[in-house]
Structure 1
């Protein structure tokens, strides 16, 4: 189990350092129902990661993902494909990044956060974790890694739970600052939001490129 955790911790950290969900959460916390909606957004995030990871475990475990303690060929092919996707996506984002960080613009849907109902906030958290073009491939790769290790079911579930916990730290930190920081929290979170907004694309591009290369290496290693 220790080796599996070592393999997925990097993936979990890459999910945790996701500027857009962090910015969305900070904007949500600034709304009149910030305490409730911020918690619901985080719950939706956890549910999305858990559901996608569980689906991968359900697919990987009975499909012979592990043979004589070595991942099956299809796991290598999956990691190779995910690695290629992330490298290309990261390169595309880097090419499209604003030359002047101060000119970076947030997605238009963020302007409507003030008007979202609690149920839609929950759905937004779920979508940004399980349906996001960056986070979904990383979670799929983590699920395949855990499922391909031949661990008992209990250890698979524990490994996935640890992955989800680490991947959620990026939201738990600002949520904790908001709930415990008092009035000073507003200034702190505003500074974080401004920095994340300016460097969002560059941070994502570098993360995707580095993790994509790691998955490429893993996939080639398994296939050869």
Structure 2
């Protein structure tokens, strides 16, 4: 189990530092129902990661995804495809990054966050975790890695829980600052939001490129061994 956790920690950390969800939760905390909406958004995020990861565990079960403790060929092909996608996506992001970080623009949907109902806030967290093109490939890769390792079911679930916890730290940090930081919390979160908005594209481009190369290596290793 320790080796598997080592493999998925990088994916979890990349999801955790994904700037857009962090910016979204900071904006949500500034709404009239900030504490409630922040918790609902985080719960939706956790559910999205857990559901997508659980689906991958079910697909990449030991019976179908590994033989003699070795991942099946389709697992290697999946990692190869995800790695190629992340490398190309990262390179595209880097090429299109703003030359001047201060000119970076946030997605238009963020301007409507203060008008969303609690139910839609929860759904937004779910969607950003499970359906977002930046986070879903990392969760799929983590689920495939855990499911194809030949671990007992209890250890698979525990590994997925650790992945989800670490991947949620990026949201728990601003939520904790807001709830415990008092008067200085808004200024602190505002600074975080501004930095994440300016460097969102560059951060994700580098992370995707590095993790994509890792997945390419893992996929090739499975396919040729």
Query: What's the TM-score, normalizing by structure 1?
Result: 0.99
Aligned residue-pair number: 224
SS at match of 1:149: coil
Task: After TM superposition, give the deviation of residue 11 of structure 1 in Å.
Answer: 0.5
Q: Which residue of 2 aligns with 1:147?
A: 147
SS at match of 2:61: helix
Q: Which residue of 1 aligns with 2:134?
A: 134
1:87-107 deviation digits (Å, cap 9, x = unpaired) = 000011111100000000000
Are 2:65 and 1:65 aligned? yes
Q: Which residue of 2 aligns with 1:207?
A: 207
Task: After TM superposition, give the deviation of residue 134 of structure 1 in Å.
Answer: 1.2
SS at match of 1:209: helix
Q: Which residue of 1 aligns with 2:83?
A: 83
List gaps (5 residues or longer) in structure 1.
Answer: none
> Using the alignment, how far apart are the partners of 2:103 and 2:166 within structure 1?
31
Q: Which residue of 1 aligns with 2:98?
A: 98
CA RMSD of aligned residues (A): 0.7
Indicate conservation of the 8 Å contact 2:62/2:148, yes or no.
no
> Using the alignment, how far apart are the partners of 1:198 and 1:62 within structure 2?
43
> Using the alignment, how far apart are the partners of 1:187 and 1:122 within structure 2?
25
List gaps (5 residues or longer) in structure 2.
Answer: none
> Using the alignment, how far apart are the partners of 1:32 and 1:169 within structure 2?
24
Q: Which residue of 2 aligns with 1:29?
A: 29
1:52-83 deviation digits (Å, cap 9, x = unpaired) = 00000011116521111111111000000000
> Using the alignment, how far apart are the partners of 1:32 and 1:71 within structure 2?
49
> Using the alignment, how far apart are the partners of 1:117 and 1:152 within structure 2?
41
